[in-house]
Chain A
Amino acid sequence: MEYFFQQLINGVTLGSIYGLIAIGYTMVFGIIGMVNFAHGDVFMLSTFIALIFLMVLTQVLGLGSLAVALFIVLIAAMLLTSLWAWAIERLAYRPLRGSFRLAPLISAIGMSIFLSNLVQVTQGPRYKPAPAILGDVITLYEGTDYTVTISHKQLLIMAVTAALLAAFWYLVQNTAIGRAQRACEQDRRMAALLGVDVNRTIALTFVLGAALAAVAGLLFMVYYGVVHFNDGFVPGVKAFTAAVLGGIGSLPGAVLGGLLIGLIETMWSAYFSIDYKDVATFSILAITLVFLPSGLLGKPEVEKV
């Protein structure tokens, strides 16, 4: 039982990261009906940006306070990753809007290959270690043969995820930006007729998704302690699975899906086989799409003839 609780904590931690990435997929799919294939690599890029900034602050500038450093890194990573996402949308996706359906997907796959190879070429193909921070653990419950613990990292991940999701929810539900975003999602042409700048709103959707992916990137870097140029694809597909499982287009669905995927992956590794944990995720992706295409919280797609 203690073992189960420990896995629950680990799973929720991992799920928070997936949920943050999944929001980027679900929002973009909701607004322009496109699988943003490069989103996983944008996330990977943000892990590198976060690590480089952390190194600059702690080693080059010698900033003493870790909390301040992490806060600055968070803001910087969010801003710079958003800039990348904005540029990608402007250069690779916007010219293809209204083109035939496969064109943006192929462009996104090309962008994904470009980003992972850009990082490989400029940063090198090796795993890059991050400084070990927040390694302390808190003992929650001491069992007879197993102790349930939660590390400071895990607390940080859960707290930051919860805080940013709350802020993001407020932004989408209660501000003019969020209203425009939701309006474009429902009916782009009508929104344009009513004076919403559709292009700007779509760009903003990419920017918001990337900012949340950057938060996930920083947390991922802190949690695992290494970054690698190839770490975009698999977390990206898992986060996409989360978005699909929760119901693509639904924001609470993306978070719920993320938590579920994190839990399933952790439990699968803990109780069945760690080698086949990715097979489990990919199978869930296929099964969900085949049998439950609208996901847990999504609206069913009505086909008009």
Chain B
Amino acid sequence: MAVAVPSSVSPAGSDTPSVGSRLVAAVKDAAGTALLALGLAVPILALRLDQDINNQPFLRPRWDYVATAVAVAFAARLAYLLIRPAFAGRRAAPTRATAPAATSARRIAQALAVGGLILLVIYPLLMLALVGRAGAIKWIDNFGIQILIYVMLGWGLNIVVGLAGLLDLGYVAFYAVGAYSTALLVHNFGFGFWLCLPLAGIFAALWGILLGFPVLRLRGDYLAIVTLAFGEIIRLVLINWVPVTNGYAGISGIPRPTFFGLPFNASDEGFAAFFGLEFTPLHRTIFLFYVILALALLTNWVTLRLRRLPVGRAWEALREDEIACRSLGINTTNTKLTAFAIGAGFGGFAGSFFAARQGFISPESFTFMESAIVVAIVVLGGMGSQLGVAIAAIAMIGGTEILRELDWLKQVFGPDFEPTQYRMLVFGLAMVVLMIWRPRGLIATRQPSIFLRERRAVKASLVKEGRG
């Protein structure tokens, strides 16, 4: 019985299949994935629950959704299978960071940080020059200020999660404390923004200590869940304590920051009139941009300095091994509480700025989702890496904000297609994909703050971290 040799098998041997057979195998594999996607999509995507004019429920068939899901799954799997060999080859390169490589990586990181800083400082003027006055507000406000708030929150949380290794899923609580203390101080005592800002930070830090105390004994996932519970409790109290917080309706009329006492309005005492400029809301936006930039850089500077202090070294030691820390006589209670308090304090600053920028706050802004986003930024950036956190914030927040700009997709998918509603969908998926691609985050090296003879970056996978 003659067995026909398939023409696609290369004569060189079975361990190096030809491009053709690899393609066939990839298509088969992708077809399997598509079949799975079909099984997953049909029950939830194919029929949409709707109500007609008489409020009678009926099912609206949406087979186009299923077709799209299956096609996307097929294409994604096929692309992954065809691209993967290129990645696999690169991964075979030596993994241990040698000293010269680490030095050059540090130089690149430094150049990136300096370049990024210069770009940030000239960003508003650059936008003004590129898109003109009308477009600049959107780009400075939606992109610049929005991203910088998350960069600041990420850096603040990085003290708790990245340096001290305490996973905090309720960080948004301190953001809320900062925002609400600003709003309440403004309304009840008539304080201005610049007085509220430090007070908000102090209040948030006090709350950090208050919530830090009971969780000192907990570790890892348990700590994460308890902090999540605290975050939710604070939000629920904000919703239900209507006499003070005005519940769901929120608090409005929070005054904007002033420029050394000069408000940004069209009056004669305003900023524009004082400097003899034509009034435009752009002044305030640009000013707010520089305020949040300064606050974020302050967070970064304090963190970098603290890392070199005994308390900062104790945080990192705590992250690596709590038992060894205790054996060496480090007071873990104080170490954890300072991390909680300082991280929370920066969250409070950010919250105060948020309240003053929006002019209106409500519990809707402080859901668990915000905490999850900030934690995702810290972990995806590479816990403990300041630059990584900034890059992750730009990628995740900027990336999802950019979906607002994709109007051309309407021409592809029809006028009903609204890219913005896929924002969080893409965000969640990106979290999963980035975690699988780089479980240790984008910048997965540690820069020791103290070293013998030469500075050498440490691979994060050699570090235990996050047991606290």
Contacts and interface: CB of A to CB of B under 8 A. Distances in A.
Interface of A: 33-35, 45, 48-49, 51-53, 55-56, 59-60, 76, 80, 83-84, 87, 91-92, 95-96, 99-103, 105-107, 109-115, 117-124, 128-131, 227, 233, 237, 240, 244, 275-276, 278-279, 282-283, 285-286, 289-290, 293, 305
Contacts of A76: 43
Contact of A55 (B59, B229, B372, B379): B59
A52 to B, nearest CB: 5
B216 to A, nearest CB: 9
Q: List the 7 shortest-distance A-B pairs measured between CB atoms, nearest first.
A: A110-B431, A113-B428, A114-B428, A103-B439, A117-B425, A99-B439, A282-B229
Contact of B427 (A45, A113, A119): A113
Contacts of B228: 237
A100 B222 contact: no
B236 A279 contact: yes
B428 A110 contact: yes
Contact of A290 (B217, B220, B372): B217
Contacts, number: 176
A101 to B, nearest CB: 5
A49 B43 contact: yes
Interface stretch (B46-54, B119-127, B249-257): B46-54
Given A52-B49, A110-B430, A35 B221 contact: yes
A285 B49 contact: no
Nearest to A45: B44
Contact of B215 (A91, A131, A290): A290
A60 B191 CA distance: 63
Interface in B371-413: 372, 375-376, 379-380, 383
A289 B225 contact: yes
Contacts of A244: 225
A106 B40 contact: no
A107 B36 contact: no
Contact of B429 (A80, A84, A110): A110
A118 to B, nearest CB: 6
Contacts of A290: 214-215, 217-218, 226
A101 B220 contact: yes
B224 A92 contact: no
A52 B47 contact: yes
Given A100-B465, A129-B51, A289-B226, A109 B221 contact: no
Contacts of A233: 368
Contacts of B379: 102-103, 106
Contacts of B59: 52, 55-56, 59-60
B428 A111 contact: yes
A174 B341 CA distance: 51
B99 interface: no
A293 B43 contact: no
A285 B225 contact: yes
Given A52-B43, A100-B440, A113 B57 contact: no
Given A55-B49, A109-B375, 6 more contacts: A100-B466, A106-B380, A106-B435, A110-B431, A124-B49, A233-B368
Most chain B CB within a 10 A radius of its CB, from A35, A109, A122: A109
14 contacts: A52-B49, A55-B49, A55-B57, A55-B58, A55-B59, A76-B43, A106-B379, A107-B431, A109-B372, A110-B435, A114-B431, A124-B50, A129-B51, A283-B229
A217 B62 CA distance: 23
B461 interface: yes
Given A55-B57, A103-B435, A122-B62, A117 B428 contact: yes
Nearest to B463: A100
B366 to A, nearest CB: 14
A279 B231 CA distance: 11
Given A51-B49, A106-B376, A128-B49, A123 B226 contact: no
A110 B376 contact: yes
B132 to A, nearest CB: 34
Contacts of A275: 239-240
A106 B431 contact: yes
Contacts of B225: 35, 240, 244, 285, 289
A193 B460 CA distance: 30
Interface in B403-460: 421-422, 424-425, 427-432, 435-436, 439-440, 460
A305 B321 CA distance: 10
Nearest to B440: A100
Contacts of B460: 100
Contacts of B215: 286, 290
B183 interface: no
A92 B45 contact: no
B78 interface: no
B44 A48 contact: yes
A110 B432 contact: yes
B48 A123 contact: yes
A105 B222 CA distance: 12
Contact of B425 (A48, A56, A105, A121): A121
A33 to B, nearest CB: 8
A92 B439 contact: no
Nearest to B434: A110
B44 A283 contact: no
A158 B35 CA distance: 37
Contacts of A117: 422, 424-425, 428
